[in-house]
Amino acid sequence: MDSIEFNLEAGIPTLDLRRYTEGSEKDRKSFAEELGAAYRQIGFAAISGHGVSEDLIASMYIEVKNFFSLPTETKLKYSNQDANNQRGFVKFGQEHAKGNDHADLKEFWQVGQTNIPANADLSHYPPNIITEEYPEFSVRSDELYKSLEEVGLIVLEAIAMHLDLPLDYFRTSTEGGNSILRAIHYPPIINEPQSSVRSAEHEDINLITLLIGASASGLEVMGLDGNWNKVTADSEHIVMNCGDMLQRLTNHQLKSTTHRVVNPHKELWHTPRFSIPFFCHPKPDMNLDALPQCVPAGENPKDLPITAGEYLNERLAEIGLKKEDK
């Protein structure tokens, strides 16, 4: 497949989602091919025209800042180890990148699915947690979750078009899936840090990730040459990247690219950083076997068979979030 030359002023390709949602069939196919090429070549893209309300995003960030301003002992009452830290508050220093012993310099809050499929195994869908101090935090979180889930399903439909799959291929397996909305707080840096990164280099577990309006710069993506490239997308863009599950499904044709969040310059250590990624996961029983059209004739798939639920549990253990069995 021929590569596409992208304008990389923002560090990653930028696309307008309205070409897919409002355009002609030719526009839709062109968008799908460009998105597919971006994921094949870089693994990241930024989209405008996504339809997520700017007011909703702004109000969500206000609620996020309010919650993380609470004392640590107050926030800790909302932690939920029994849910493998997939709901509620996760304390500073809990999570680390796979294969990295240094904890990331962040704390975060996680919100899950409320549109739970009929006959679902509820062990995969623990209830969300409502904060007493800021009940609007939960309201805004649920609203934003639903908005980003729909954007994610549209993007996945375009990826299905690119892969010559039925357009509802991902919607069938992902609508009502185990997606996570995460609100992250990187506190101000007080002492000389052990490393230059707030969140160590890693790849995302899920199908795709959607990141809205981080409050400060710092996101960097590893290029094919091994060098780090700064992502400088505008605030109205959603930054999207391919995750490991989608990479597995496409036999590594679509790339789950390594990325990190670096510390600011020393004069900005006193400033916190907030970001809100949406990790788009399928239902736990989705099979992640490589699609036949992505495996060259005479070759074996690059990864062993596994379901989305099994893979998620495996990866949560690797990054310090899964509760240890006693």
Q: What is the pLDDT of residues 105-144, one digit of tens each?
A: 899 999 999 988 888 888 889 999 999 999 999 999 999 9
74-98 pLDDT, tens digit each: 999 999 888 788 999 999 988 777 8
DSSP state of 23: S
Tell me, yes or no, whether 180 lies in a domain.
yes
- What does the alpha-carbon distance between residue 44 and residue 324 come to, in Å, rounded to a whole number? 33
Task: Report d(CA 236, CA 254) in Å as an integer.
Answer: 25
Secondary structure element (H or E) that encloses residue 130, with its range:
none
- In a domain, residue 323? The reply is no
For residue 31, is it within any domain?
A: no
* CATH number where 187 lies: 2.60.120.330
Residue 181 lies in a domain: yes
**Structural domain contains residue 27:** no
- Host domain of residue 247: 50-318
Pairwise CA distance, residues 129 & 87, whole Å: 7
- Mean pLDDT per 10-residue segment, the chain (326 residues): 70 94 97 96 94 95 96 95 88 82 87 89 91 95 97 98 97 94 92 76 95 79 89 87 97 96 88 94 95 95 95 89 64
Residue 39: inside a domain, yes or no?
A: no
Q: Is residue 75 part of a domain?
A: yes
Q: Would you say residue 297 lies in a domain?
A: yes
Domain tally, the chain = 1
- Report CA dihedral (19, 22, 26, 30) to the nearest 10 degrees: 20
